[in-house]
Structure 1
Amino acid sequence: MLDGCSWRAWVVRALVAGIGGAGATAHVATASCLNGSRLTIELLMPGVPCPVSLPANGVANGGGAAAPADAPKKQSPKVHSVASEEDLVTLHNLLADAQEAQAKYSRFTQEQVDEIFVAAALAANQARLPLAKMAVEETRMGLVEDKVTKNHFASEFVCNKYRFEKTCDVIEVDAPGGVTKVAEPVGVIAGVVPTTNPTSTAIFKALLALKTRNALVLCPHPRARRCTIEAARIVHEAAVAAGAPRHIISWIEHPSMCISQALMQSPEISLILATGGPQMVRAAYSSGHPALGVGAGNTPAVIDETADIQMAVSSILTFDNGVICASEQSVVVVDSVYDKVREELVRRGCYFLKDEEEKDKVRSTLIVDGRLNADVVGQSAVKLAEIFGLTVPEWTRVLVGEVDRIGKDEPLSEEKLCPLLAMYRARDFDDAVQKADRLVMLFGAGHTSVLYTSPLNRARIERFTRAIKTVRVLVNTPSSQGAIGDLYNFHLDPSLTLGCGSWGSTSVSTNVGPRHLLNIKSGIERRENMLWFRVPPKVYFKGGCLEPALRELKGKRRAFIVTDKPLFDLGYADQVTRILDTVNIQYQVFYHVAPDPTLACIREGLSEMNEFRPDVIIALGGGSPMDAAKVMWLMYEVPDIKFESLAIRFMDIRKRVYEVPELGKKAQLICVPTTSGTGSEVTPFAVVTDESTGMKYPLADYALTPNVLAHKLGSAFHVPHGLANAALISHVIRYNATDRPLKMAAFPQYQFPQAKGHYAELSDMLGLGGGSPDEKVIKLIEAVEELKRQCDIPPTIRDILGADKEGEYMAALDEMAENAFDDQCTGANPRYPLISDLRQILKMTAVGKSWATRRTASRACSDISARSGLDTMGVSVPARAPRGGGGAR
């Protein structure tokens, strides 16, 4: 019998004892608990227990005191699905095959690896659409179109970034420095794949493994098994066809929690790439192997009073139903623009929860038993509303809840992974930063944050960057697409594994790339210390050089001459002053330098120098005047310099701890030696004596060297391109003319929906009339239809192909829509289309003789409007058109 505290100890003893004996692979142990329940624990192998879930009494998940004796009898503990001996043998064989393949692959050259890498990326890119469809069908999360984008990103962008990066053998050579860097693969990598981004993550991890000569064993999420395996299979087959060893990419066919644990704890694994929920990531880090995991995201977007509100709101509205961990979860808006931002959100298709009753419906469903409800993840806003028991318009893109609290008592402030935003009002920018920081530190430390402000607000940008503890601080950038890199800033590495640093309890604070999957060896050869001969920029020598050298000082105003008394008395200073007189330079002579100049002498000369304020200093004499002049110059240029720091010892003058600022901003130093042999005129050295102690201080810094020395329809049915365009153009104009598209093209230059405005401008240029932009767009479409009628252009596809072809055309709608979506140019359309929208537009070209003259066409267009957020134009449409397809009235 086990009490609430001793069952763990029993498990430990069972493990240590190696239940079942050596060589056993799976064992079941049973013990009786005090409450009468039976505790069944499966041991996958000695040291690898399958996770056990216990009831919420004293013997609970988190442990604690035992339940009272009179406590009601609880349900028996729930035990996770067990891993059979067959499963474990299969895993063992899988890992053995992976090891063998990796050993072969590790001997491939960079050229072979690059060829395999590009071939695999190309195959993944070509399969981006079917993989996206499969992912949505299987997981019931996200949007096909956005998953296409992510698959495209994971293949094309990653390939483009890393195709020329050296990852094999010698990657860097510094021959003079004696350093050679060699890249070696880490071995067999375990790749844990989430249900939210399954195919793109599998592609990304597989490509990174191929680029770095590693083997990869993928463990799919059970809810995304088929699509993940298909993505891996496509990459693997392409790699093998290009020459890679078979089994270099492999996967677990029947994933479970137990098998995941066994994989991560297997000694054959060298590194774990963990992408998934917090528990999975923690398990990876606790496996005993190096792990690269991600952290939870709870991205706040701050909008201040100087931000471009249209761009900010258009950027914040979510991508792929919010399943990317970097997606915006909250919006914090400065009070002075809060109402404007709210209006813009409504205009763009957001539904604001009306009252506390609606918010409570959301709260009670969003978080269940302390965890995010998996049923809401990756669902559309309309589907979410249905789950929450709300009624919203069919065009709703995002649900927004206005709240004040931040914390575990406010579910809306947590990570939601769906198109549901919390919105906070901040008093000012400082309050907004504080709220954002609390959101980050409570639920998403280290991940991503966003600031929308004027690009000119450098101080605010810097303050936000310093204050927020996230490793990605985005400015005026959509977080879900911006954080993964290479879309809105091309210096952020493309990645689908985003490190969060120590703040997020992860091992890296960057976007994971090939370098993280390599062991870099450095070959270090013995080298002697470098010698450096540095002299003044100008050296004048030979007899008579003094006068031309000093004449180059023309333009200077005041010269301070440092010499000793004997030279002054003998008239040598006069030879200098005479030349200075000819170039109109004022001068003052300091001649109190004694042999072995003292600090007192330096201070005296510095005092006179500060009063005279020279722009040139001339040292005349032997070593002592030049030493004194150098130190005076240094202290004149840098008044707060500490003599003790300057005099500190060093091993290498170029590596000294105390760095002397660059000199010459106030004055130029000229040395005129009168003796031979000291070399003080060409060196960075000076010697000064402390007269109180008799200590000589050799000062050295290159700053002391003197300046001058006087020494990507028509193809499916063969319709001509122009005719196909004419049949479609009115529908396309109507489709694009909206201020609240479901999706926008991912171009940084296209900041907010502008197509309707541009169509209205075109209508004005043509003098078509109309009051509102909507009316002007209708006038433009009517003019286009009239022009087509005048040019005898058939108004519909039925008229172009003939009635006998209509059935064939309608049967091909799905294929044509997918092909249109996958066209190279589709991404540049101002309104990024869904495949279903393209199908509807193609269908509309066949159902009426004119865009604005058939109820069916109008109704079809309205269907798109209601579902996708298209604006409703208040223009009546005639029930019947004149025969011949005349223009709309």
Structure 2
Amino acid sequence: MARMTTEKVQAPIDSVEALKERIASMREAQKKFATYTQEQVDKIFFHAAMAANKQRIPLAKMACEETGMGVVEDKVIKNHYAAEYMYNSYKNVKTCGVIEQDTSYGIKKIAEPMGIVGAVIPTTNPTSTAIFKTLICLKTRNAIIISPHPRAKKCTIEAARIVLEAAVKAGAPEGIIEWIEEPTIELSNELMKSVDVILATGGPGMVKAAYSSGKPAIGVGPGNTPVIMDESCDVKTAVYSVIHSKTFDNGMICASEQSVTALAGIYDQVKQEFIDRGCHILNNEELDKVRKIILNEAGAVNARIVGQKASVIAKLAGIDVPENTKILIGEVDSVDVSEPFAHEKLSPVLALYKAKDWKDALNKAEQLIADGGYGHTSSLYINPAETEKITEHSERMKTCRILINTPSSHGGIGDLYNFKLAPSLTLGCGSYGGNSVSENVNVKHLINIKTVAERRENMLWFRTPQKVYFKKGCLPVALDELKTVYGKKKAFIVTDTFLFSNNYTKPITDKLDEMGITHACFYEVAPDPTLQTARKGLEQLKAFGPDVIIALGGGSAMDAGKIMWLMYEHPECEFEDLAMDFMDIRKRVYTFPKMGEKAMFVAIPTSSGTGSEVTPFAIITDSDTGTKWPIADYELLPNMAIIDTDFMMNQPKGLTSASGIDALTHALEAYASIMATDYTDGLALSAVKNIFGYLPAAYEKGAADPVAREKMANASTMAGMAFANAFLGVCHSMAHKLGAYHHLPHGVANALLIEHVMRYNADPAPVKMGTFSQYPYPHALERYCEIARFIGICGKDDNETFELFLKAIAELKEKVGIKKNIKDYGIEEAAFLETLDEMVENAFNDQCTGANPRYPLMSEMREMYLMAYYGEVPQAEKAEPETDTE
């Protein structure tokens, strides 16, 4: 049969070759359609929906006449729904061009059509599903070719023709909707291979074929909707809702109820309500007769009962019921797959179960879903106040639609008895039912979304303690605020034995006594503080119950104090969680707890190097396991830092040297970091200038040069502020492990590595660079030269300036007693090499590594360790490994 469109007469698709030719012409039509604007598409969508809606009654009649199934009046509603509800829901949805844009975040989403949609239409809903699928394809600028069910081809094709003619008249390309007049398995298979996406609604075999076609498929699974009626439900409403749904189009919507499980307390009332409203409860003899006709020999629903009236089905079974009987109800016990009533029946035949209690009802519903309804729909009638039961039901049911107090046929397709459930005649079952979607299929499933993501630099930050006081002799004035501003009453001091024994705590305790603040002191902190020591101090801390903690000392006292503060505030925390590495401190997996609820934290340094008084970092070692826990989060920032040089005047030379070079490394790494900013750069530059200008004098003269001491104190704190916000790099990563494995002071470990790391970072073409949006390309060489020129070191170009800078660093280290290589510190070669690979891997995994301007390979870190040990990489290490040719 030839068919006429608005412009030309086309031959029917009666062969694979004809199908291929038609699809080729459809591609041209769709290519043109893909250029249409949203305004053009919406006009076509409107006129197509209007045309389908106007023909809802003739199409309903055709469907019933051709298929012999269903109810004309109900099919009218289906057709009306497919046209009106689809249009109403999607008329304002953007499906063309830019559908979403956020210029602040640099994100733009663009909708593109998928191409040609192959649509398989079921015999149960032959016209409404055709209307639904053609409309959503027009809305999304897709072409659609329909393969109707052989028993419903005329009415399905007529529905498609009505939509096509209206669409073309409104401006759509000719041939944007096509169909196969005489569907065969061969043509259906070819269709599935030739289209771009398959939209399959129908039996399990057809859906499986769609998924096996090799093309993207949106298919749906069978339903076997179980209903539970809880004792708290409104029985009359519940029963009539089921009748209303189950008799709608003679039960052919896949979401319709297949069983009702009533709790024992209301079972008799439910049963009587069904009887009173025209349903027939089958006696034992009738039950057996109906059982025999529900399924066919293959175990699927018998096509002879699908969509038939209850009285017709009764006659097929050889029993008599009144002509106006609404539903045939079988009282059954088994929910096993061997029970025919436990299956999907697509007809006004219903199973009725009695549950002894709520748990039994849930168990029955779960098994019924497993018998053939995974992923589809489940239903519950209950008092809405029973929220715990509703929650338990939703958790137990493996279905993608869970309907509460709703006729499931109408509720499942969406937008009739609920809001925000997308209206659709294709209901996805998710992975439960072997489907690719778990939603009601709609326009969003038929568009490709292209995301245009522009490069953006994330918001940065600069975080410091709330108050930082500095100047020689500032301690008493700063501490005064504990009373006058904060109203503190109990102070707990954390320090080490040396400082306590030599009365470094006295200026603090004298001021606390003057203010009437009671105090206690824990003074057992040792270098590389341990978790066990912190726990010992914590017991004293908890017993005292302070509202302010004062850490006095170098990095060890600060670290121990911060950890004790953390355990005091949050004893529930696990160090393994707290120490979780992060790429971006704002996006870390573990959310650090809020600090300062019990006590504020005051940091008073006695050395000029760590900068810990203004940083969010702490390191603690578990002496039982040997594990070092590096803890980093801005919640660990002290609330107040007091940098009073009076506490630093008598630092020994070794501490002055090591801490001074540590501060220098902080500044150098912060300035070269991929996270460096204008806010951190100034601090880093000033710190380097102070260190080059005053470290030798502080080292040689000590307390005799108070200016040098104060400048070094300022340098340490400024460098601390810089790296607290820009972070560090691989020099610190490697120094952490070198110090841990071979017991070198941290500052010395940094000093032995810094020039090797700088030369490594300065490579203009590294194998890899660090990852951070604000870091555009490797430029560590330029950054190092900026520092050099700031302190007065200038060569004829960057390369010469850089070499002069490295030389100046080496000379500075020599002036303050730093040896040249690791081996010079008495570390045996065998011991060093034995730990080398483990140090490399642990250094690579260190939190500091990520901010380095050159992202390291472990082999490169290994080479730097060797250079730092020997002065250069030994020839044996440089040689290529021998190849085993056997």
TM-score by length of 2: 0.64
SS of corresponding position for 1:571: helix
Offset from partner CA, 1:646-667 (integer Å, 9 cap, x none): 335443334445x145234963
Hey, what does 2:227 align to over in structure 1? 301
Alignment match, 1:315 = 241
Hey, what does 1:186 align to over in structure 2? 114
Does 2:371 correspond to 1:445? no
Matches of 1:574 and 1:234 in 2, distance apart?
A: 96
Are residues 557 and 673 of structure 1, via their aligned partners in 2, closer, same or farther at CA, if it must alter by over 3 Å?
Answer: closer
Q: Describe the shift of the 1:569–1:709 C-alpha distance in structure 2 as closer, same or farther (beyond 3 A).
A: closer
- In 2, are the aligned partners of 1:617 and 1:629 still within 8 Å (CA)? no
Q: Distance in 1 between matches of 2:581 and 2:616?
A: 15
Question: Counterparts of 2:522 and 2:109 in 1: how far apart (Å)?
Answer: 57
Instruction: For 1:653, give the aligned amino acid.
Output: I
AA partner of residue 251 (structure 1)? W
Which residue matches 1:699?
A: 631
Superposition deviation, residue 156 in structure 1? 2.8
Aligned equivalent of 1:667: 598
Q: Residue 603 of structure 1 is aligned with which of 522, 525, 535?
A: 535
List per-residue Cα deviations over 1:173-192 (Å, max 9, x = no partner): 45555544333222111111
3-state SS in 2 of match to 1:201? helix
Query: Once the two structures are superposed, what CA deviation does each residue of 1:483-525 show, in whole Å capped at 9, x if it has no partner?
Result: 2223333232222111112221222222222232223333445
SS in structure 2 at match of 1:182: strand
The letter for the 1-side match of 2:279 is: C
Tell me which residue corresponds to 1:572. 508
**CA gap 1:457/1:678 in 2 versus in 1, 3 angstroms:** farther
2:436 corresponding residue in structure 1 = 507
Matching residue of 2:407? 478
Q: Distance in 2 between matches of 1:481 and 1:668?
A: 60
Question: Deviation at 1:439?
Answer: 1.0
Give the structure 1 partner of residue 329 of structure 2. 400
Between 1:624-633 and 1:84-93, the stretch displaced more is 84-93
**Does the 8 Å contact 2:578/2:592 carry over to 1?**
no
Contact 1:299–1:330 (Cα < 8 Å) also in 2: yes
In the other structure, the counterpart of 1:618 is: 549
CA separation of 1:517/1:695 partners in 2, compared to 1, >3 Å: closer, same or farther? closer
Q: Distance in 2 between matches of 1:241 and 1:227?
A: 21
1:346 corresponds to: 275
Write the distance in 2 (CA, Å) between the matches of 1:290 and 1:174: 30
> Distance between the aligned counterparts of 1:140 and 1:552, measured in 2?
88
Distance 1:691 1:423 in 2: 67
Q: Percent identity?
A: 53
The one of 105, 113, 123 aligned to 2:51: 123
Instruction: Give the secondary-structure state (helix, strand or coil) at the position aligned to 1:483.
Output: helix
Amino acid at match of 2:508: Y
Provide the rounded CA distance (Å) in 1 between the counterparts of 2:56 and 2:641: 70
Aligned-partner SS, 1:343: helix
> Could you tell me which residue of structure 2 aligns to residue 109 of structure 1?
37
Q: Cα distance 1:654–1:133, how it changes in 2: closer, same or farther (>3 A)?
A: same
The aligned residue for residue 346 of structure 2 is 417
Asked if the contact 2:295/2:302 (under 8 Å) is kept, the reply is yes
Distance 1:357 1:645 in 2: 67
The structure 2 residue matched to 1:133, chosen from 61, 77, 85, is 61
**SS of structure 2 residue aligned to 1:372:** coil
- Per-residue CA shift, 1:741-773, capped at 9, x if unaligned? xxxxxxxxxxxxxxxxxxxxxxxxxxxxxxxxx
| Preserved CA contact (<8 Å) 2:13 2:181 | no
| AA aligned opposite 2:564 | M
- Of 212, 221, 230, which aligns to 2:158? 230
**C-alpha distance in 2, partners of 1:574/1:321?**
92
Distance 1:530 1:247 in 2: 51
Separation in structure 2 between the aligned mates of residue 229 and residue 455 of structure 1, nearest angstrom: 44
TM-score normalised to structure 1 length: 0.63
User: Which runs of 5 or more structure 1 residues have no equivalent in the other structure?
Assistant: 1-82, 712-889
Is the 2:528–2:621 contact (alpha carbons within 8 Å) kept by the matching residues of 1? yes
Q: Which has the higher helix share?
A: 2
- Give 1:284's match in structure 2, choosing from 206, 210, 215: 210
Contact 1:352 1:402 in 2 (8 A): yes
AA aligned to 1:182 is: I
Cα distance in structure 2, aligned partners of 1:699 and 1:95: 63
More divergent stretch after superposition (339-348 vs 199-208): 339-348
Q: Secondary structure at the match of 2:199?
A: strand
CA separation of 1:316/1:534 partners in 2, compared to 1, >3 Å: closer, same or farther?
A: farther
CA contact (8 A) 1:628 1:688 kept: yes
After TM superposition, the structure 1 = structure 2 runs for residues 545-564 of structure 1, keeping only pairs within 5 Å, are 553=486, 562=494
| Distance in structure 2 (CA, Å) of the matches to 1:680 and 1:576 | 23
Say which is worse superposed, 679-688 or 397-406, in terms of deviation: 679-688
In structure 2, the CA distance between the partners of 1:587 and 1:153, relative to structure 1 (3 Å rule), is farther
CA deviation string 1:799-847 (max 9, x = no partner):
xxxxxxxxxxxxxxxxxxxxxxxxxxxxxxxxxxxxxxxxxxxxxxxxx
1:460 to 378, 386, 389: 389
How far residue 627 of structure 1 moved from its aligned partner, in angstroms, is 3.1
Asked if structure 2 preserves the Cα contact closer than 8 Å seen for 1:352 and 1:401, the reply is: yes
In structure 1, which of residues 319, 329, 334 is the aligned counterpart of residue 263 of structure 2?
334
Q: Which secondary structure state, in structure 1, belongs to the residue aligned with residue 304 of structure 2?
A: helix
- Say which is worse superposed, 371-380 or 695-704, in terms of deviation: 695-704
For structure 2, which runs of at least 5 residues remain unmatched after alignment? 1-10, 644-886
Matched-pair contact (CA < 8 Å) for 2:575–2:629: no
CA distance in 2 between counterparts of 1:578 and 1:236 reads: 93
The structure-2 alpha-carbon separation of the partners of 1:85 and 1:594, relative to structure 1 and needing over 3 Å to count, comes to closer
Q: Distance in 2 between matches of 1:670 and 1:434?
A: 57
- Asked whether 1:165 is paired with 2:165, we answer no
Map 1:493-504 to 2 at 5 A. Answer: 493-504=422-433
Change (3 A) 1:610 1:220: same
Q: CA deviation at 1:328?
A: 0.7
* SS of corresponding position for 1:412: helix
CA distance in 2, matches of 1:140, 1:460: 42
Matching residue of 1:849: none
Distance 1:158 1:568 in 2: 80
Return the offset for 1:330. 0.7
Q: Secondary structure at the match of 1:636?
A: helix
Residues 467 and 639, structure 2, Cα contact 8 Å, conserved in 1 = no
Q: Are residues 574 and 626 of structure 1, via their aligned partners in 2, closer, same or farther at CA, if it must alter by over 3 Å? A: farther
SS of the aligned residue for 2:630 comes to strand
* CA distance, structure 1, for counterparts of residue 87 and residue 510 of structure 2: 74
- Corresponding residue number in structure 2 for 1:653: 585
Look up the SS of the partner of 1:287 in the other structure.
coil
Q: Deviations over 1:233-288 (max 9, x none)?
A: 222222222221111112222334443233223x3x11111111122212222222
Q: Distance in 2 between matches of 1:540 and 1:709?
A: 5
Q: Indicate if the aligned counterparts of 1:568 and 1:591 stay in contact, CA closer than 8 A.
A: no
- Report the CA distance shift for 1:293/1:678 in structure 2 as closer, same or farther (over 3 A): same
Q: Which residue is equivalent to 2:22?
A: 94
Q: 381-390 or 313-322, which moves further after superposition? A: 381-390
Contact 2:566 2:595 in 1 (8 A): no
CA shift, 1:553, in A, is: 4.9
Structure 1 residues 320 and 619: CA distance shift in structure 2, 3 A: farther
> How many pairs does the alignment contain?
618
Deviation at 1:363, TM superposition (A): 1.4
Counterpart for residue 684 of structure 1: 616
In structure 2, relative to structure 1, the CA distance for the partners of 1:577 and 1:397 (3 Å cut) is farther
Counterpart in the other structure of 1:217: 145
SS at match of 2:413: coil
Does the residue aligned with 2:262 lie in a helix, a strand or coil? strand
- 1:382-434 Cα offsets, whole Å, 9 max, x none, are 33333333333444322210001233432111110111110111222222212
- Shift of residue 459, structure 1, vs aligned partner: 3.2
- SS of the residue 2:117 aligns to: strand
